[in-house]
Structure 1
């Protein structure tokens, strides 16, 4: 039997992008290409500006995480990593107050892989350093296609363990619950199409952005009373908050939960809890609780869209 197959051929980066700043950075800053890098590192990034000033220097790409607004810098190097660029990424991150650092290179030398690994191990859990190799491949006479390969990234589990040090028992339970939540959320495609789960915390809530700063959805746990929940939270805009409260019955019908409206001096919205969801000492039940919360979040976003909020 004959198979119609061809051979993958590696293409030199400089054959496509002769100039790092004028060609590669310009290409990477385009929305679809930045989305490709975002997919590789697992963080949705959006462009702020290219060649962004840091004192007398310029960082190649200054960006932010969609939803959280966490600042990111991307430094490009169409050659082997070197000490000069390692110093640059640290300097630029400090100058921009960035929590996400992406170093995109042609080839990562071992000593620089170790340096990025060390930075991830010795920095706060809110920081993440990524070392990414960029390659170009063609098949036969096809156009070359780019591929990003992450060679170093933060170890979320290690950072979660570090974060748990010094916490109370209840805080550790909350941190563990949201760690499991993020793990399940990241493996639920229909949820990831709508939301970007935040990093685990010791709080009783985790936030889900809704493409606007006017309001957000929050998933809730109550370790004291053994219940899980969800809320529609409006920090300032009373008109939106009151419209949601006025449609509480619609929310109740779709979620199968009883609404508790709140209308404080600034914040307003709706809160929902489900009893009989013991959190402490009941880790085996967490995946079921979390899956239900993901369903609530998707249903709530649909209601929000129907109401035109």
Structure 2
């Protein structure tokens, strides 16, 4: 009868003195393939270790040379904690990185849920990766691996790479149609992608005569739906969002009267984990399928009408609100 050996998982401290030495090992050209493989970013290169941001230091700052995707990597030994999660978000926001990679020996249920929520509501993709060293009893060699605990809901660089191609083509056609119709939807500036790692998110200003950068329209085409969102950079007391929500019924009726076809309207007040207040219109005329190219005309017309509706409904309200502050 075959006898099997026992797998053992020793603590990281048996192989690396501290998190800094682990970061240096993982960033080395001979080892970064562990990150490349799990992320699907095969052109990933570590550009800097311990990069200073707001008095703290990013463990690994990396960039994919193929797609231009910028990545911050936060490493920690042992169980995930709020300190490392908070630092990872601070680093990515200050560096305007496209991706957060959070590596830990173990993730709590709460932190897994926080990462899932972030991936569903924020623009920046997050990977929660469990790091393991595995030894076989009686063998003098060990294996290292990174195991995904949570991955982005939308990621155009892994097995589903073709979706990114569809998203890019979808918005390219949308811009062309908008320009053919007199550029009305793009009157305050060209629509542009959020980043090279997010072809499903395009942004444009709310209006040409509103100078503040606190407001923007975000157009999204993902596997879960088509939407246009008014995003409000969160202030301490949510002044703008609360002022609009006080007239929620009136605004909802106004939006529905202006949007072509059906739309679901949602209100999301920012929190510690959600960096923006969001008022969103969601396509609800059946299932949205990026691969259904024959339906693009209907999708684009809905997107144009929703963009116009949000602009018409909120531009004046924003101007009046700021004139009173």
1:99 aligns with 2:98: yes
Distance in 2, Cα, partners of 1:183 & 1:118: 21
Match of 1:25 among 11, 23, 26: 23
2:117 aligns with: 118
Distance in 2, Cα, partners of 1:280 & 1:199: 13
Distance in 2, Cα, partners of 1:142 & 1:101: 34
Q: Which runs of 5+ in 2 are unaligned?
A: 174-291, 297-325
Three-state SS of the structure 2 residue aligned to 1:94 is: helix
2:62 aligns with: 63
Three-state SS of the structure 1 residue aligned to 2:160 is: helix
Distance change (3 Å), C-alpha of 1:135 and 1:184: closer
Deviation at 1:203, TM superposition (A): 3.8
Three-state SS of the structure 1 residue aligned to 2:76 is: strand
Three-state SS of the structure 2 residue aligned to 1:67 is: coil
TM-score by length of 1: 0.51
Deviation at 1:122, TM superposition (A): 0.4
Distance change (3 Å), C-alpha of 1:184 and 1:103: closer
Distance in 1, Cα, partners of 2:166 & 2:47: 22
Distance in 2, Cα, partners of 1:200 & 1:53: 35
1:83 aligns with: 82
Deviation at 1:153, TM superposition (A): 1.1
Distance in 2, Cα, partners of 1:199 & 1:70: 19
Distance in 2, Cα, partners of 1:198 & 1:50: 32
1:183 aligns with 2:178: no
1:35 aligns with 2:33: yes
Distance in 1, Cα, partners of 2:3 & 2:166: 46
Distance in 1, Cα, partners of 2:68 & 2:161: 23
1:152 aligns with 2:150: yes
CA deviation vs aligned residue, 1:172-196 (integer Å, no higher than 9, x gap): xxxxxxx8x973759xxxxxxxxxx
1:134 aligns with 2:162: no
Match of 2:167 among 197, 200, 206: 200
Distance in 2, Cα, partners of 1:113 & 1:72: 19
1:280 aligns with 2:277: no
Distance in 2, Cα, partners of 1:131 & 1:185: 23
Deviation at 1:280, TM superposition (A): 2.0
Between 61-70 and 128-137, report the one with greater CA deviation: 61-70
CA deviation vs aligned residue, 1:29-65 (integer Å, no higher than 9, x gap): 1123211122123233211111111132110000012
Contact 1:136 1:144 in 2 (8 A): yes
Contact 1:41 1:150 in 2 (8 A): no
How is 1:263-274 mapped onto 2 (pairs within 5 angstroms)?
Answer: none
Number of residue pairs matched?
174
Distance in 1, Cα, partners of 2:19 & 2:87: 15
Deviation at 1:72, TM superposition (A): 0.7
Deviation at 1:200, TM superposition (A): 3.0
Deviation at 1:68, TM superposition (A): 1.5
1:14 aligns with: 13
Distance change (3 Å), C-alpha of 1:148 and 1:204: same
Distance change (3 Å), C-alpha of 1:129 and 1:279: closer
Distance change (3 Å), C-alpha of 1:184 and 1:78: closer
Distance change (3 Å), C-alpha of 1:199 and 1:93: farther
Deviation at 1:4, TM superposition (A): 5.8
Distance change (3 Å), C-alpha of 1:281 and 1:58: closer
Contact 1:182 1:198 in 2 (8 A): no
Deviation at 1:281, TM superposition (A): 6.0
Distance in 2, Cα, partners of 1:116 & 1:185: 24
Distance in 1, Cα, partners of 2:166 & 2:86: 27
Distance in 1, Cα, partners of 2:136 & 2:70: 37
